[in-house]
Amino acid sequence: MTTAPIDPTLALPGRPPVVDLATWQAARAELLVREKAHTRAGDAIAAARRRLPMVEVDATAEVVGADGPIPFLDLFQGRDELVVYHSMWHDGAPHQGQCEGCTFNVWQMKDASVYLNARGVSFGVLTSGRWEEVPPYLEFMGYTHPWYSVRGLEASIAADEGHIICYLRDGDRAFLTYSTTARGNEPADGSVGLLDLTPYGRREAWEENPDGWPEGRDTCWYWRTDAEGRAGWDPTSRPVPQWTRPGATPEKTLGRHDHDH
């Protein structure tokens, strides 16, 4: 295979070296050995995770969902396993003032129930927000998975904001089996895995890159932008998925509803 020479004056910053296909295949095969070892290490950690002890939680605690108060046990929907994400909530904040990190996570879990349910696992999103504030946000974001307010019940069901949490049901009893947050949530964030496969990665400052690569930026810089895609936490920015929602226009403030917009 032949290619036209690349004009060095037009080359991308820090682009990988150009080689023939055979050389690339040899380098790819060498990296594959490390990737497989990484996969096997992850399998071993998952096996250890399945051997963690568990803690009983209050299966009778009443959470509030679209159909009103229901016992926590009902979130299992008759299945033996339950995975939830506990989304952070800011009381009284407009839609664009809600957590960009939780928006990032929940957006990528929007079809999680399809395959989880097929495997016998239920899925839901918890929030510590007042239920009356939640439905308008869900409608705006287009979320279809079930949400539940656990306000005041967090300790009863061992739920923390920003965490993925797993539970096991045994008859009318429920047990906490696993919980993770921060980068532990990344298995549910498909876009992160795809970015890690690209030449420039996530373009975050903490990443180790070859010399000449584009300079990294603040962690998670692409979670919140203004209408032109510029990252920032200023009054005209909002979580990135919100720009695809109807009526997603810049606001003058990220303050509460009772402040002037």
Query: How far is Cα 139 from Cα 95, in angstroms, rounded to an integer?
Result: 11
The string of pLDDT tens digits covering residues 103-114 is: 999 999 989 999
Dihedrals phi, psi of 4, to nearest 5 degrees = -70, 145
Tell me phi and psi for residue 130, to 5 degrees: -70, 135
Q: How far is CA 195 from the centre of its chain?
A: 14
Averaged pLDDT of the chain: 91
> Tens digits of per-residue pLDDT, 233-250?
887 889 999 998 877 776
Mean pLDDT (whole number) for 131-146: 94
- For residue 252, pLDDT over 70 is answered with no
| 51 DSSP β-pair partners | none
Query: Which domains does the chain show, CATH number per domain?
Result: 53-181 (3.40.30.10)
What tokens does 74 get? Answer: 């009902």
- pLDDT tens-place string over residues 73-93: 999 999 999 999 999 999 999
The structure tokens listed for 190 are: 């498909």
Please name the helix (run of DSSP H) or strand (run of DSSP E) that holds residue 63, with its range, or none. Answer: strand 62-65
pLDDT higher than 90, residue 183? yes
Confidence at 5, pLDDT banded by 50, 70, 90: low
Residue 54 has pLDDT above 70, yes or no: yes
Q: Tell me, what's the pLDDT at 9?
A: 58
Which amino acid would we find at residue 257?
H
Mean pLDDT of 175-194: 96
Identify which of 191, 177, 165 has the alpha carbon closest to the alpha carbon of residue 108: 191
Residue 258 pLDDT level (bands cut at 50, 70, 90): very low
For residues 75 and 82, is the Cβ–Cβ distance under 8 A?
yes
Query: Which segment of 61-65, 116-120, 137-141, 250-254 scores lowest on mean pLDDT?
Result: 250-254
Which amino acid is it at 152? G
Identify the pLDDT of residue 6.
Answer: 59
Q: Look-up: residue for tokens 């070892």?
A: 37
DSSP-derived letter for residue 70 is E
The structure tokens listed for 111 are 């079809």
What are the structure tokens assigned to 176, written together?
């906490």
Residue 257 in this model has a pLDDT that exceeds 60:
no
Share of the chain above pLDDT 70, in %: 91
